[in-house]
């Protein structure tokens, strides 16, 4: 008999940013494990396609259209989720991304940074996590317990070259994760916890051109990353499933305020 503390069966999981490469993989995995996945996204076609894909494998899913950087939009989703489900067990904040204007490439300097792009990156990554956490938290209070899982990045702890906006925003996610850990336990009790997963380098549509050439070989930056990754490969979406499962399950009920690296050893390598 399997350990019930690892079961995800019947858990109601609200999931923002679920329609991206990593989010889709994680959503499908959670559904296969018996969770009920509530997809939050701003593009109706993408949300609908993911819900149908989950249902096609026998999973349970529903979709809610909202912009996670807009409080009123998320409040509208809250009302629909409350009506349909009453409460949630888990919130996964995976909405995020970068913009070219918030990147300082080798041929540019700080003066070329586009502040409007920087604001948008901060809004998407930071407010896109803070707003759903604030607005949807009462759905956890209705359940008497709750679990927030944020998606950070290795760029948060190591301010890497080029990705100024993204790295700064993810550093804010790490800080927010630890802040909310203390805040929720202090005011609502030990049944509420907050953690984050910090992926290393995974090939997505956003970074593929930075890391690989059109023929699939590595760019200079890609080679540099490989030389600092003991496992010498990029992550596959499936590499996140085990950590995600553990953090969603009751098996990790004494874990809060933690940033879990899933990076093939990148954060352990000093280069010496």
Q: Which residues are catalytic?
A: 166
How, if at all, do strands 12-16 and 90-93 pair? parallel
Q: Which two tokens stand for residue 139?
A: 């759905």
Length of the chain: 272
Q: Which two tokens stand for residue 162?
A: 């080029």
CB atoms < 10 A from the CB of 145, how many? Answer: 17
Q: Give the orientation angle of helix 128-141 with respect to helix 164-188, to 10 degrees.
A: 20
CB 174 within 8 A of CB 118: no
- What are φ and ψ of residue 107, in 5° steps? -90, 5
Q: What is the DSSP letter of 234?
A: P
CB 85 within 8 A of CB 12: yes
Q: Which two tokens stand for residue 31?
A: 């559904």
Between the alpha carbon of residue 81 and those of residues 64, 136, 142, the distances in Å are 8, 9, 12
Geometric angle at alpha carbon 96, from 197 and 248, rounded to 5°:
30
CB atoms < 10 A from the CB of 166, how many? Answer: 26
């Amino acid at each position: 008999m399997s350990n019930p503390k690892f079961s995800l069966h019947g858990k109601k999981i609200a999931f923002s940013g679920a329609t991206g490469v990593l989010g889709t993989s994680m959503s499908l995995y959670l559904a296969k494990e018996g969770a009920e996945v509530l997809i939050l996204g701003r593009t109706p076609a993408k949300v609908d396609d993911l819900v149908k894909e989950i249902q096609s494998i026998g999973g349970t899913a529903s979709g809610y259209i909202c912009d996670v950087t807009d409080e009123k939009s998320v409040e509208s989703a809250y009302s629909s989720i409350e009506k349909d489900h009453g409460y949630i067990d888990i919130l996964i904040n995976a909405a995020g991304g970068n913009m070219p204007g918030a990147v300082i490439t080798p041929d540019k300097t700080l003066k070329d940074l586009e502040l409007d792009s920087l604001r948008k990156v901060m809004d998407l990554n930071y407010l896109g996590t803070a707003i759903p956490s604030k607005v949807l938290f009462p759905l956890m209070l209705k359940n008497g317990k709750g679990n927030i899982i944020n998606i950070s990045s290795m760029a948060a702890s190591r301010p890497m070259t080029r990705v100024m906006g993204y790295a700064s925003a993810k550093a804010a996610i790490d800080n927010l994760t630890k802040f909310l850990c203390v805040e929720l336990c202090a005011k609502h009790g030990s049944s509420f916890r907050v953690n984050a997963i910090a992926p290393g380098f995974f090939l997505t549509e956003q970074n593929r051109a930075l890391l690989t050439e059109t023929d699939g070989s590595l760019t200079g930056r890609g080679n540099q990353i490989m030389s600092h990754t003991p496992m010498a490969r990029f992550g596959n979406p499936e590499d996140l499933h085990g950590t995600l499962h553990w953090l969603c399950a009751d098996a990790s009920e004494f874990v809060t305020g933690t940033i879990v690296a899933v990076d093939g050893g990148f954060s352990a390598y000093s280069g010496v």
